[in-house]
């Protein structure tokens, strides 16, 4: 099962963490999303049917910034 790690800027509390987790797990094909406030990152487990960009876009649409390398 593919795993994508996304680095996120702008999360400040547990509410932000659950917002990000919610938008990610709503995407079809995502089986789990672990979001860490301290690390500023999301670890997304998915079925590989999407380009990684769809995860970044969902996070940005929720009002957070994605750090792209």
Q: Minimum distance from CB of 9 to Cu ion (Å)? A: 13
Phi, psi of 28 (to 5 degrees): -60, 135
Closer by beta carbon to Cu ion, 15 or else 28:
15
Q: Minimum distance from CB of 50 to Cu ion (Å)? A: 26
Closer by beta carbon to Cu ion, 22 or else 31:
22
28, exposed or middle or buried, with CB in 10 Å at 0-12, 13-18, 19+? exposed
Q: Minimum distance from CB of 46 to Cu ion (Å)? A: 24
3, exposed or middle or buried, with CB in 10 Å at 0-12, 13-18, 19+? exposed
Interface residues toward Cu ion, by CB under 5 A: 12-13, 15-16
């Amino acid at each position: 099962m593919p795993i994508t790690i996304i680095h996120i800027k702008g999360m400040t509390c547990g509410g932000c963490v659950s917002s990000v987790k919610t938008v990610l797990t709503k995407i079809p094909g995502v089986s789990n999303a672990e979001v860490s406030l301290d690390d500023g990152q999301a670890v997304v487990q998915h079925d590989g049917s999407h380009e990684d960009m769809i995860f970044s876009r969902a996070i940005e649409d929720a009002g957070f910034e994605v750090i792209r390398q």
